[in-house]
Structure 1
Amino acid sequence: MTESQVIHRRWLIAILLTALVLRVGGVVLLQQRLDANGQQFLIAGDAEGYWLLGQKIVEGEDYAIHTPPRYVHRMPGFPLLLASIMAVFGQQFLPARIVLALIATFACLLVYWLGKRIGTERTGLIAAAIVAVSPTFVGFSGLILSETAFSVALLLASLACERLGRLISSATSTLFAVLQQALWVGIAFGIGVYLKPSWILAAPLLGGAMILLLRPKVRTFASAAMILFAMLMTLVPWGIRNERVSGHFTLTTFWMGPSLYDGVQPGANGESDMRFFDDDGLTQEMTEYEVDQEYRKRSRELILADPLRIAHLSWLKFVRYWNLWPNADQFQSWSLKSLLGLFYLPVLTFSVYGAWVHRGQYWSMVICLGPVLYFMLIHLVFVSSLRYRLPGEYPMLVMTALGIEAVLFRAGQSRPKLENNSD
């Protein structure tokens, strides 16, 4: 091992230890604050639902929530993770939060690997360092929400995509090796959907980008088809289960309709307000499938009736998505807003500059910027918040690191990894 490799290894260990200490320390402080206030969750609602479903899994009860029971309300990925933690440590919040903090630290390592693959060793270290000290990543890591676990699935898919692009463009790789890697990419995307159902459209979009950007075309078409096939096969067991419990096959949930209506309902302003769901009381007279279809229908009618209002709502959601600090009232202290603003303004600026400096590396841009832009588009329709941006920020920070390298080290264009534009 060379001297520079030893130095890089020491820097990586220091970064990961910093990430771990900040996250575990933040979790302990959060739990103490919640216990002192008699709270179970900092952000209730989704967190409470995830926790309850995790309890049902570990106790062997039906995977359902609310009354009347909704059997296809939440994807099972995150509740299964919580259930596995409960099976080992019991139904206590602190151990669950600490495990999530460990998962968040692993995400930091994955960002290092992604940065190293797309740029240089230094790129990976810079990106990982930003992840390690990011106030929002530290703050969210111990929350009983799916974002941190999903971020790991997203990063694993990103790393698999980077390797797939390399194999497709390599003259020495076989078609079998390419398709085998595409299989792993599709499985990684399927695991991501189990954690976050809105991720399901990302795989076909990735396949389209692959066909446009990578050559030779026979490999790209075959890889795109394999990715989609593998993702669908990964999700089929859940779809079959849904058919059995509800009489209707779906690869995700029956919650898209209410979620969509939440984003476009009369009086909507971009944030979630689900009071309409209880006020309407449709669950008392309809199945959850019928409720989903009814709210989809109402949403389409509202969108078609006043597209200008919907366009204005999309702008409000865009602002909420890219806000420098969380939009919720509990996070509006000036000290917190100043901290997050001072952190995120250069992060976002350098990510734009990194994309400009490396503008010829189209596949790398898809990997690094695709997720954060994908979720932006999704949440121009649904409700929007900084929370929904967080998973996409992990790969985006590789582009931030490339921008910082270009400024501080005059790195210019990083060494080309993919010959995207050559036959």
Structure 2
Amino acid sequence: MAVYVQRQLDRQPERTYVIEGDADGYWKLAQSLIHGEPYSIYTPPRRVLRMPGFPFFLAGAMSVVGEDHFRVRLILALSGAVACFVVYLLGKELVNETIGLIAAALTAVSPVMAGFSVLFLSETLFAVTMLISLWVLVKLSKVQFRVEDQFQGRLWSVLAGISLAVAFYVRPSWLLMLPLVVFILILSAKEHRTAALTRGLLIIVGFTVMLVPWVYRNYQVTGHFVPTTLWAGPSLYDGLNPRATGDSDMTFFDQENVLNSMSEYEMNQHYTKRAVEYARQHPGHVFELMGAKLVRYWKPWPNATQFKSFWVMAAVSVLFIPVVFFAGYGAWVSRDQYLLLLITVGPIVYFSLIHLIFVSSLRYRLPAEYSLYILSAVGFYQMCFSSRQGKELNPE
């Protein structure tokens, strides 16, 4: 796939990237890190435009293979292979090795996952870090609330906070998982609420310690507390404005050019307020947009015009539709296994809800599909093998 993508771009001298805007920004930020320049792009400088996780990863690849697009794509392809392996680990931990292998095989043959893995976009790296954080949370959930297991429980709690933060450094929308995880942990503990509260606090501590360098750096360059980025406001307005359709159209940002008269922080606040005000005044349009965004998120084929060839749409749909079907069956046969459902269905529902507000597309669903494939593997096994063998597939 790396060879194919690079050859296609080499035949089009006017194009450098498959998805220009975001990819170019990530590449330039990585170059600034490699050359020891300030972490910013554009004029006026945008210092808190992107989380640093993916640019740091790109910079690491550049430091090994140089600033060559094709060679860096090969490193990115390796991250896609790692994603398949982590799906295997998570499936094995949630159910057993058979399910882990089936789920990994499904991800390995997914044309969308293979394609995105070699683009200069954060989706695949985020999937890897998200899956690792989910694996750590599953390991934590299996540690009993016994005195002899206190150290192990506290260690996994800190690691859970750290792993959540690592994923957050790649995709800031993962931030809301922190309070959700702590809430679910305490709620499910029942008679061990005090011990669960301790673990929840340690998760928060692990996450916070990891977050300190980014927050401190942002305060140094903006004079404000900024835990994520200063692109959330324009992104929110992109999804909630008079011309919004559910698709991304950032032309308003260049046309209005508010950065000529505002700081980056003020610009972010400005667009956030405008988006919230528009939503208050036009609730009907907001609900209409939510429906459009929901359709865009769950559509089996790509929304972008450049990918709307018959063969691309068929290649994407021919795997995703059966995956959803098997996932539905897997959810039914596993309806009493709450941890499995939470880990496999939770992420894709989580991002679906977030993108009812922001713009939506297949691209934002993709990282969450990795864990859903585990549930698809359960459904596939139960439908195709367990009935023949006369036994159910139970967790080891």
Q: TM-score range by the shorter chain?
A: over 0.9
- Aligned residue runs from structure 1 range 98-113, under 5 A: 98-113=74-89
Report how far residue 413 of structure 1 moved: 5.5
- Equivalent residue number for residue 278 of structure 2: 302
1:65 to 27, 37, 41: 41
- Equivalent residue number for residue 312 of structure 1: 288
- Equivalent residue number for residue 34 of structure 1: 9
Over 3 Å counting, the alpha-carbon distance change for 1:208 and 1:47 in structure 2 is same
Q: Distance in 2 between matches of 1:383 and 1:229?
A: 32
1:203 to 166, 178, 196: 178
Over 3 Å counting, the alpha-carbon distance change for 1:185 and 1:106 in structure 2 is same
1:362 to 315, 328, 338: 338
- Equivalent residue number for residue 142 of structure 1: 118
Q: Distance in 2 between matches of 1:318 and 1:65?
A: 32
- Equivalent residue number for residue 117 of structure 1: 93
Q: Distance in 1 between matches of 2:250 and 2:286?
A: 18
1:376 to 338, 352, 369: 352
Q: Distance in 2 between matches of 1:153 and 1:339?
A: 26
- Equivalent residue number for residue 195 of structure 2: 219
Report how far residue 194 of structure 1 moved: 0.8
List per-residue Cα deviations over 1:58-85 (Å, max 9, x = no partner).
0111111111001111111111111111
> SS at the partner of 1:250?
coil
1:251 to 222, 227, 232: 227
Q: Distance in 1 between matches of 2:378 and 2:148?
A: 28
List per-residue Cα deviations over 1:248-306 (Å, max 9, x = no partner).
12111111100000001112110100011111111000000000001111011011111
- Equivalent residue number for residue 192 of structure 1: 167
Q: Distance in 2 between matches of 1:268 and 1:243?
A: 32
Q: Distance in 1 between matches of 2:336 and 2:393?
A: 10
Q: Distance in 2 between matches of 1:148 and 1:397?
A: 15
In the alignment, structure 1 residue 415 sits paired with structure 2 residue 394: yes
Report how far residue 198 of structure 1 moved: 1.0
> SS at the partner of 1:269?
coil
Counterpart AA for 1:69: P
Report how far residue 371 of structure 1 moved: 1.2
Q: Distance in 2 between matches of 1:173 and 1:205?
A: 27
- Equivalent residue number for residue 3 of structure 1: none
Over 3 Å counting, the alpha-carbon distance change for 1:280 and 1:395 in structure 2 is same
Structure 2 length normalisation: TM-score? Answer: 0.96
1:326 to 302, 309, 312: 302
Is this contact kept in 1: 2:386–2:393, CA < 8 A? no
- Percent identity of equivalent pairs: 43
2:109 to 133, 144, 149: 133
Counterpart AA for 2:228: T
Is this contact kept in 2: 1:162–1:364, CA < 8 A? no
Report how far residue 404 of structure 1 moved: 0.8
Q: Distance in 2 between matches of 1:320 and 1:148?
A: 20
Q: Which runs of 5+ in 2 are unaligned?
A: none
- Equivalent residue number for residue 275 of structure 1: 251
Q: Distance in 2 between matches of 1:66 and 1:193?
A: 24
In the alignment, structure 1 residue 56 sits paired with structure 2 residue 35: no
Aligned length: 391
2:325 to 332, 337, 349: 349
- Aligned residue runs from structure 1 range 223-238, under 5 A: 223-238=199-214
Cα RMSD, aligned residues only: 1.4
Report how far residue 219 of structure 1 moved: 2.8
Report how far residue 214 of structure 1 moved: 4.0
- Equivalent residue number for residue 131 of structure 2: 155
Structure 1 length normalisation: TM-score? Answer: 0.90
Counterpart AA for 1:375: F
Counterpart AA for 1:338: A
Which stretch shows the higher mean deviation, 68-77 or 217-226?
217-226
